[in-house]
Amino acid sequence: MDVLDVIVVGAGPTGLMLACELALAGVRTRILERRTEPQRNSRALTLHPRSLELMDQRGLVDRFLPLGRTVPGWHFAQLPTHLDFSVLDSRHGYTLFLAQARTEALLAERARELGVEILRGHEVVAVGQDGDGVKVQVRGPGGVDSVHARYAVGCDGGRSRVREAAGIGFPGTDETLTGVLGDFAVIDTDPAVLGAARACGVLVAPLEDGPTRLVCVDPERMRVPSGEPVTLEEFRESLIRICGSDCGIGEPRWLSRFGNATRLAESYRCGRILLAGDAAHIHFPAAGQGLNTGLQDAMNLGWKLAAVVNGWAPPGLLDSYDEERNPVGRAVTENTEVQTLLAELTLVPQYQRPAAALRELFDELLRMEEVNRKLAAQVSALGTAYPPASPGVDPLVGERMPDLGLTTAASQPVRVYELLHQGRFVHLDLAADPDLSAAVTGWGSRVIAVTVTKRDDHADLEGVAEVLVRPDGHIAWATRTADVTERRDERRAALTAWAGTPS
């Protein structure tokens, strides 16, 4: 019986990103996708700064940037004052406006380069597991068949069959509010008309292939269930009610209704079955965080699951996926609930006056640099940090590693993210320890060790002698001690704790 290493269910951005990460580490991976063709319509349109950093860490960002449009500011609850991503500590202090379909195509291309098998028209109908692996029943072109693997990951959306089969609870709130989106080939391009629509809360976004997307919430239609189809006439009537004009819309390419159901998986893991992306968390699409959170789930999980499959994972490493990402999912769902409430209250007649005052208060707060930076860090995910596994460690542990410019001992310039392209741990020696090469030999290809000097200043790294960077770009360990013997003992303990027992 042929047994795969990992089955990934779902060929959306999360599933594709995860498969790329697994394949990069030599894990035999197959994606099962029920749709026969890639999704043409794009619900999501953005890659936020942290997602772009992840692409940079794998040498992929240059595939994405030429195809999109960068935007330095982003909205919070559609308030007038935007979040300023450009002031954040990143080479990618902007959102990339890029349709989800394009993101999926680029990730699918990369997955195939790495040898990932993507089977479309294959619907998962059942999943079971035991102590040795998982058994997935799949309905494909040839009928129902069984596929066996050591692990399975559900990246199959909010109605995840994998999550249900694993018996993982999905508590949260049901839909109480819906909005509509439409991609139109014909629209009135008069800036005054579109400006008036934006001023009334309508999102207007030109798409890369010609159409213009409009998104709105109509007070008279906001309780319509998301399962009810949207018509062109309904969209026109809603626009007229909201902003006094139908904006000249015509020739809709896609019409869709979406809701604010918000749920978070009780756990991201049950034995050999794991969850990522919308299978683990759903929410109103406020500030475009859903797709980005899924990509970041995949980056966190990929190297950990690969370590288990490849036999070197230290105890508890795979458990840390749920421990680190579940709180992030909770923070995102709470953040989107706040934004949705700020918008919804203005649509309810008895709350409109206090809601307007509340939104003005929030907008005033956003004009304060410290508040704007804090919320920008949350929405962009550049502020995501994981709690250290033990107390008393350096404050950098768990933070994302900045993409410092460095110079190697051979006088070669390099960036930190360039060193992460192979998905390995990166050990940076800033103290020129002559014993470094011998010290990391036992970990072989798991760790890249480099003696460097900094070209870019970074206040948080002042006085740091050594840093161990995880494959997902977060800091596993750092030390500032000048005592060489103490530093070597710390280094060995950190490498063992994160990269497993040396050979």
The model's pLDDT over 295-308, given as tens digits with 9 standing for 90+, comes to 999 999 999 999 99
Average pLDDT of every residue of the chain: 95
Q: What is the mean pLDDT of residues 485-497?
A: 92
Using the predicted structure, report yes or no on whether residue 441 has a pLDDT greater than 70: yes
Instruction: Give me the pLDDT at residue 350, please.
Output: 92
Q: What is the mean pLDDT of residues 85-105?
A: 96
Q: What is the mean pLDDT of residues 216-228?
A: 95
At 322-344, the pLDDT tens digits run 999 999 999 999 999 999 999 89
Least confident of 170-179, 394-403, 431-440: 431-440
Q: What is the mean pLDDT of residues 105-121?
A: 97
Amino acid identity of 135?
K
Instruction: Give me the pLDDT at residue 1, please.
Output: 65
Alpha helices in 149-190 (DSSP H): 161-166
Instruction: Give me the pLDDT at residue 27, please.
Output: 98
Amino acid identity of 373?
R
| Percentage, residues of the chain above pLDDT 90 | 86
Instruction: Give me the pLDDT at residue 150, please.
Output: 98
Q: Which two tokens stand for residue 116?
A: 């990932």
Q: What is the mean pLDDT of residues 377-405?
A: 93
Residue span(s) of the chain under CATH 3.50.50.60 come to 3-173+262-380
Question: Which SS3 state, helix, strand or coil, does residue 362 take?
Answer: helix
Q: What is the mean pLDDT of residues 182-201?
A: 93
CA angle, 479 then 484 then 488, to 5°: 65
* Residue 43 to residue 356: CA distance in whole angstroms: 29
pLDDT band at residue 398, thresholds of 50, 70 and 90?
A: very high
Q: Which two tokens stand for residue 404?
A: 């410092």
Using the predicted structure, report yes or no on whether residue 438 has a pLDDT greater than 80: no
Q: What is the mean pLDDT of residues 449-462?
A: 87
Residue located via tokens 């290493």: 5
Instruction: Give me the pLDDT at residue 392, please.
Output: 80
In DSSP terms, 134 is beta-bridged to 129, 149
CATH, domain range 178-259: 3.30.70.2450
At 145-154, the pLDDT tens digits run 999 999 999 9
Contacts of 115 (CB under 8 A, 6+ apart): 23
At 41-74, the pLDDT tens digits run 899 999 999 999 999 999 999 999 999 999 998 9
Q: What is the mean pLDDT of residues 264-272?
A: 98
| CATH match of 3-173+262-380 with 3.40.50.300 | no
Residue span(s) of the chain under CATH 3.30.70.2450 come to 178-259
434: phi then psi, degrees, rounded to nearest 5: -65, -15
CATH, domain range 405-499: 3.40.30.120
Using the predicted structure, report yes or no on whether residue 220 has a pLDDT greater than 90: yes
Q: Which two tokens stand for residue 206?
A: 């030109």
Instruction: Give me the pLDDT at residue 141, please.
Output: 93
| Percentage, residues of the chain above pLDDT 70 | 100
At 406-425, the pLDDT tens digits run 999 889 999 999 999 999 99
With beta carbons less than 8 A apart as the criterion, state whether 22 and 263 touch: no
Instruction: Give me the pLDDT at residue 435, please.
Output: 79
Q: What is the mean pLDDT of residues 457-471?
A: 90
Question: Which SS3 state, helix, strand or coil, does residue 432 take?
Answer: coil
Full-model pTM: 0.96
Instruction: Give me the pLDDT at residue 461, please.
Output: 86
Using the predicted structure, report yes or no on whether residue 32 has a pLDDT greater than 80: yes
